[in-house]
Amino acid sequence: MSQSPTLSAAEIPSERLLLRRALLDTDREGLIELSTDPDVRAYIGGPRPRSEVEQHFDSVLAADATTRPGSYVIANNATNRVIGMVMLSRRSAGSPGPVTGDGEELELGYELRRGAWGAGYAFEAATAVLRAAAGELPDQPVLLTTQTANTRSLNLATRLGFRPVSTFEEYGAEQTLCTARLSMFRL
Ligand SMILES: CC(C)(COP(=O)(O)OP(=O)(O)OC[C@H]1O[C@@H](n2cnc3c(N)ncnc32)[C@H](O)[C@@H]1OP(=O)(O)O)[C@@H](O)C(=O)NCCC(=O)NCCS
């Protein structure tokens, strides 16, 4: 794993949300749903079989969601119910797609449970993470890769201020690489 720093905050509050580490018991169903829902997984590899996800939950999914730097559960701050995940992680050197710098740039990712789409939650969560990072880390590029056909994701990237810079093929589909400067999110 990369040694370059990412976000250190354990929790990030925003108007309607709390970005936090995963709670293994109460978040379990929501996190499993993220990996098994055909709508959520339509552009990110397709749904995984529930039995497989359940089997790997403790060792893989939960470890990422609870301890991986820059990886947060998105919870509704009124109910504490998990509605998705947002990640600001370091791209591993050798990742597919164009390299724009040293190959370990910050990379933003997000996924919401299907029932939470269309309410601005992903925008709010991504903005909160990027603002927190901009307050902690020096200015640098942030990358975002999404399937070109993933209109919702591309719209969100554009609303956040990311600009498409290139396209490439991966997983049998065209991907769009977008970038933004971290300093754009400084308050
Ligand atoms: C990509 C994804 C996170 C986008 O979710 P989203 O809810 O569309 O994104 P936003 O948070 O930006 O919300 C925007 C929508 O909320 C609406 N909205 C409602 N209240 C809002 C508010 N207070 N603030 C902002 N937008 C609001 C907007 O009008 C917009 O509606 P529209 O979709 O009808 O145009 C979601 O589709 C998803 O999880 N997809 C599956 C996983 C995935 O593909 N991830 C990308 C991997 S790269």
Task: Name the residue at shortest CA distance from atom 41 of ligand 1.
Answer: 40
Residue 53, both tokens:
């996800």
Quote the pLDDT of residue 1. 46
Quote the pLDDT of residue 69. 84
Quote the pLDDT of residue 61. 63
Quote the pLDDT of residue 25. 83
Q: What's the gap in Å between 102 CA and the centre of ligand 1?
A: 31
Amino acid letter for position 115: G
Quote the pLDDT of residue 100. 61
Backbone angles phi, psi at 150, to 5 degrees: -85, 80
Domain ranges of the chain: 12-138
Residues 185 and 43: their CA atoms lie apart, in Å, by: 27
User: Is the domain covering 12-138 a CATH 3.40.50.360 domain?
Assistant: no
Q: What's the gap in Å between 98 CA and the centre of ligand 1?
A: 26
Q: What's CA 108's distance to the chain center, in Å?
A: 5
Q: Is the CB of 47 under 6 A from ligand 1?
A: no
Atom of ligand 1 nearest to the CA of 124: 11
pLDDT in tens, the chain (187 residues): 455 688 889 999 999 999 999 887 889 999 999 999 999 999 999 999 999 988 887 776 666 656 788 999 999 999 999 999 999 999 877 776 665 666 789 999 999 999 999 999 999 999 999 999 999 999 999 999 999 999 999 999 999 999 999 999 988 899 999 999 999 999 9
The answer to whether 148 and 173 are in contact (CB under 8 A) is yes
Q: Is the dihedral of CA 129, 12, 30, 96 positive or negative?
A: positive
